[in-house]
Structure 1
Amino acid sequence: MIHYSLQCADGHEFEGWFRNAGDFDRQARDGHLTCPVCGGSEVSKALMAPAVSGARDDAGTVEAVVENAPVKQAQEPAVPVMAMPNPHQAQIVDMMRKLRKLITESADNVGSRFATEARAMHHGETEQRSIYGEASPEDARELVEEGIEILPLPVLPEDKN
């Protein structure tokens, strides 16, 4: 997967993930990319700069790791958006918001105790009820392997995932 900062002809900036550089080029050429702010279909890559982080090896030498990262512009705060090559994007995101609201309004938020609570209900130690909360990928994998049915909550653009 490759991550690009994108910009529409009106200057709106957003992000997108693609399988490879050719995938971006093909979607842009075929008009499948649209700005989530204004709906414009003239989308191009925005200026990117390398993000450098360092790690010391056993000898104390710093090895730099370079990744593409978007250049932050001070004049306008970033807007959390989602790039989807789908003309019905707004409808899909709206349905995801409604689904998430329905789930969170009808379930108990158990926060970081999600895995513990789910196991207790599965083993009959506590009353069965709808719950939601946070679980690490490892905890989620273990719950599934134990036969405990779980589903991720819909991730929304404003979640900054």
Structure 2
Amino acid sequence: MIQFALRCDDDHRFESWFKSSEAFDKLHKAGLVTCIICGSSKVEKALMAPKVRDSRSQRPAETPSIQEQALAALRKQIEQNSEYVGMNFAREARDIKDGIAPERSIYGEARPDEAKKLIEDGVPVTPLPFVPGRKSN
């Protein structure tokens, strides 16, 4: 996992985690990296200094930033008010739109090509600014 500092064309700044630099590039090219504040897909990497800490120093943990707090609150709201459908997200979202499955809020995971196809077909979806936690029994 790699964390990037990002900036949209309205100069909103935020950070997000990606599986790899290549994963960011693929999602960005598909228009699936969006600003967490305004939703713009005109997002670029911003200059970011790596966080390096001397293993010998024992500094207290930093207080989460306002953006980190907002992301945590958003994640909590989504997890409490939506159903996690895992890798079945694309199928479930399409079934809901087509009236095959009951209408409800869902979240999960989809490959970039699946997400792009949903958007092209008018299925209302948006990428989350965090990786969903996988739920198990």
TM-score, with length taken from structure 2 = 0.50
Per-residue deviation at 1:126?
1.3
RMSD: 3.7
**Larger CA Rg, structure 1 vs 2:** 1
Per-residue deviation at 1:36?
8.9
Runs of 4+ in 1 over 4 A off after TM superposition: 33-37
- Local SS of the residue matching 2:65: helix
- The one of the two structures with greater contact order (alpha-carbon pairs below 8 A, sep at least 6) is 2
Per-residue deviation at 1:137?
0.2
CA change 1:119–1:93 in 2 (3 A) is same
| 8 Å contact from structure 1 (residues 107, 132) kept in 2 | yes
Which structure 1 segments of 5+ residues have no match?
5-16, 28-32, 38-74, 77-88, 157-161
Structure 1 match to 2:27: none
Offset from partner CA, 1:110-157 (integer Å, 9 cap, x none): 11110000000000111100001110000000000000010112227x
Task: Map residues 42-121 of structure 1 onto 2, 5 A cutoff.
Answer: 90-121=65-96
Structure 2 letter corresponding to 1:111: G
Identity %: 33
d(CA) in 1 for partners of 2:121, 2:79: 24
TM-score, with length taken from structure 1 = 0.43
Structure 1 match to 2:122: 147
